[in-house]
Chains A and B, each alone.
Chain A
Amino acid sequence: MADLDQFRAQVREWCAAHVPAGWRQAQTGASPEQFTEFQQAWFAELRSGGYAVPHWPAEWGGGLSTAEQIVLYQELAAHDAPRLVLAFISIHHAAATLLAAGTPDQRSRHLPAILDGEIWCQGFSEPEAGSDLASLRTTARRAGDRYIVNGQKLWSTWAMAADWCLLLARTDPDAPKRRGISYFLLDMRVPGIELRPIRQATGEWHFCEMFLDDAEIPASSLVGAENEGWQVAQATLSAERGMTMLELAERLGNAGLARLIETGRQAAGGRLTAGGLIADRLAAFDTEITGLRAMCRTVVERHDTGRAGPADASVVKLFYSELLQRMTDFGTELAGLPAHTELEKPLSGSYESGAWLLDFIGSWEWTIPGGSSEIQRNIIGERGLGLPREPAVTP
């Protein structure tokens, strides 16, 4: 415990010295180039402090204990640090995939490169494969020591900045849905990849459509066995062990709640009266965020001791995303007409910008992707509570 207190003091000192002052203003209205540059610089800064990939094994440059990681994310949130948005897939999903199922060559090729700033995106969803991901249609046909990939991917976050892509493609068109899918590492510089940015509801451009037209992948970039990509994807999707949700919950509980209280105070004419309607709603949000943060710690600790429940991740994701939506909705209501004059929000943060309407609109980015709230409720009902599955529709 004393060691942990010492670690917390060390992180605090580091944050006080290294969190860039005024980054929110600087990142408001930033160009894609300014965003990328800032993200890379912040990543390098964290790396030099030893905090960029705390969850990786020590031999690859990580090695912080779970308890230390929790402290790290608590302190980064408390100091209102920028968030690693661009490197998110790289340090979490890509690294987890490589560590869990990658070959030694794949690991040594990519893990150090990620530390040097290699950016990854994800090519899972397709126009006809959203919530029903296993119905994906992109094909990878084996031709000697290569695979030839054709199809269309959707919702690849920051794909235009990515060097590599985690790709799911069908290698056996005759196998049942979940079998016959393979997992690949796709070099985004090969010919046959066309990207089209998708403008989202907030007006920003974080996502891409990806068209694959005879793009080639060497057989050495297959992860796991051919036709066993679904299992690889399932294993690595949960490999972040709830730590990213903990990070987001901490951000919401620090800057997010502080901004909501401040917005409430202004709406109440400068002073909040305990017992007033606004104060009552704020106390309810305060309570729910406290519960969420505690639950995130519980889930991380359960993962650590091998006691993770089958629906833990879904409970956290569902609660976080809907709480976020209700909170940003309330912030928008409190802020009134001025909320509508904030035309841009700072990049490099999450949902605690204080530009309430834009954060509210952006909250659907949490209730829809990564398994929509409806899918999460199915998972909670079926895996968490053991309720019967919906009968399959037989054609």
Chain B
Amino acid sequence: MTDELTQAREELRTVARALLAKSGPRPDWQLLAGPGWPGLEIAPELGGSGATFAEIAVIATELGRAVAVSPFLGTVVLGAGLLAGISPAAGRDALLRDIAAGRSRVAVAMATGDDAVAGDAAPFRVQRVNGRLTVHGTARFVPDAMAADHILLLGREDSGRPVAVQLGAAELRAEPQPVVDETRQLAVVEAGGARVSSAAVWQFAGDPEAAVRALAGRAALAVACDSLGVAEAMLEATVSYAGKRCQFGRPIGSFQAVKHACADMLVQVSMARELVSGAAGAVAGDAAEAPAAVSMAKSYACAAAVSVVGKAIQLHGGIGYTWEAGLHAYLKRAALNRSLFGSPAAHRQLLAQRYA
């Protein structure tokens, strides 16, 4: 059973890598919908394939390896992840069906920095004034909101209870938030007192606070996967370059200074892979240790990726610093990943609560 699962995941990885190599860095969403990536975790009766987060992790890693521009984080990791935890509500299943079919792209407006893990991930307020519900609030750095067909807001009711709110595009203000990394598409989403019907305020099925934490954890882990992919790609590129580039009459990879730096990159990548795969298994199995495993994977893999890409640029020498060589895109993505959904320090702060 375990071997079959492992084998199935390796096949998914192989297919994904080939597809992304062919599509280039800006794959069409329909192309990714073809093999069923948007609906990986969605139930079969809604058109998905009923897989687990372990399969999501495979795709997230490959997207990072390809530094691909894709709404996977917004639509699949956050959107489908959020909807899966919502009590049955009008429109919920239709939306999941549309996501699975690749017809709809979704964004979740929530906190995406340190506040996502160490504070409050639900920044909107759903207020009842004179019997009418209104929504206020702002979420910055919202992934994939500009191209989304639906934006779901993560907010709190007057009672403090977290809820999800579905608002029409006309009732929200979304502005692109340019960042140095051009491979991620972020936006500022603002709701300035828009009226909302109670049917559009969706309740979580279980403990809502735990659901919000779990959603932020999924996102953090998906970003850790992305960073693992970024680091893998840079290690391979560097090893290949160091084996070919000659100076002083020999390949630079034969010099210990270069070889040892590559060895250190492999060690970091291997360690990141262990932590990420352990956390993906824990999240997929809804294990009690999942939150700690996610924080370990996120803090280690995202820091390691920045270090690995940095070494890659250094070992490529002058060419590595050029725009044309493209290594800069990996550094920028790795650096953004490190901050998205909780910095290494924020995640270590969560871990350290166990020592108090």
Residues of A within 8 A of B (CB): 261, 264-265, 271-276, 279-280, 282-284, 286-288, 290-292, 294-295, 298, 311, 315, 318-319, 374, 376-378, 380-382, 384-391
Most chain A CB inside 10 Å of its own CB: which residue of B270, B351, B352? B352
Top 6 nearest A-B pairs (CB, nearest first) are: A381-B259, A279-B352, A283-B348, A380-B263, A387-B253, A283-B351
Chain A: minimal CB distance from B238 (Å): 9
Pairs across A and B, CB under 8 Å, 19 listed: A271-B356, A272-B352, A279-B355, A284-B299, A290-B275, A291-B296, A294-B274, A311-B266, A315-B266, A318-B263, A318-B267, A377-B259, A378-B259, A378-B263, A381-B253, A385-B239, A388-B253, A390-B255, A390-B256
For B223, list chain A residues within 8 Å (CB): none
A318, B277: Cα distance in complex, Å: 21
Contact check, A298 vs B271: say whether CB atoms are below 8 A apart: no
- Which interface residue of A287, A378, A382 has the most chain B CB atoms within 10 A? A287
Given contacts A286-B351, A287-B300, whether A377 and B264 have CB atoms under 8 Å apart is yes
Given the contacts A377-B256, A381-B253, A287 and B349 also touching, CB distance less than 8 Å: no
Instruction: Tell me, rounded to whole Å, the shortest Cβ–Cβ distance linking B195 to chain A.
Output: 40
Given A280-B348, A298-B274, A381–B299 Cβ distance below 8 Å? Answer: no
Report B320-356 CB contacts with A as 1/0, cut-off 8 Å.
Answer: 0000000000000000000000000101111111011
Main secondary structure of the interface of A (DSSP, over half): helix
Q: A291-B275, A387-B262 are in contact. Are A280 and B349 (CB under 8 A)?
A: yes
In the bound complex, residues from chain B placing their C-beta under 8 Å from that of A282 are 352, 355
Cβ-defined partner of B296 (8 Å) among A280, A286, A381, A382? A286
Main secondary structure of the interface of B (DSSP, over half): helix
A298 — which chain B residues lie within 8 A by C-beta? 274
Task: Please classify how large the interface on chain B is, using the bins under 10, 10 to 19, 20 to 34, 35 or more.
Answer: 35 or more
Please name all residues of chain B whose beta carbon is closer than 8 Å to the beta carbon of A283 when the two chains form the complex: 299, 347-349, 351-352, 355
Asked whether any CB of chain A lies closer than 8 Å to the CB of B278, the reply is: yes
Indicate if the CB atoms of B300 and A288 lie closer than 8 Å.
yes
Decide: B256 and A378 in contact? CB cutoff 8 A.
yes
Binding site for A on B (CB under 8 A): 239, 242-243, 250-251, 253-256, 258-260, 262-264, 266-267, 270-272, 274-275, 277-278, 293, 296, 299-300, 345, 347-353, 355-356
Closest B residue by C-beta to A391: B250
Residue of B nearest to A261 (CB): B355
Kindly state the separation between the CA atoms of A82 and B338 in the bound complex, as whole angstroms: 41
Decide if B243 touches A388 in the complex (CB within 8 Å): yes
Report which of B254, B274, B296, B350 forms a contact with A390, defined as CB distance below 8 A. B254
Q: State whether A295 and B270 are in contact (beta carbons under 8 Å apart), knowing that A274-B352, A388-B250 are contacts in the complex.
A: yes
Residues on A with beta carbons closer than 8 Å to the beta carbon of B352: 272, 274-276, 279-280, 282-283
A387 to B235 alpha-carbon distance, docked (Å): 12
Contact B351–A287 (Cβ < 8 Å): yes
B275 touches A287 (CB 8 A): yes
Residues of B within 8 A of A376 (CB): 263
Min Cβ gap B271→A in Å is 4
CB neighbours (8 Å) of B350 from chain A are 274
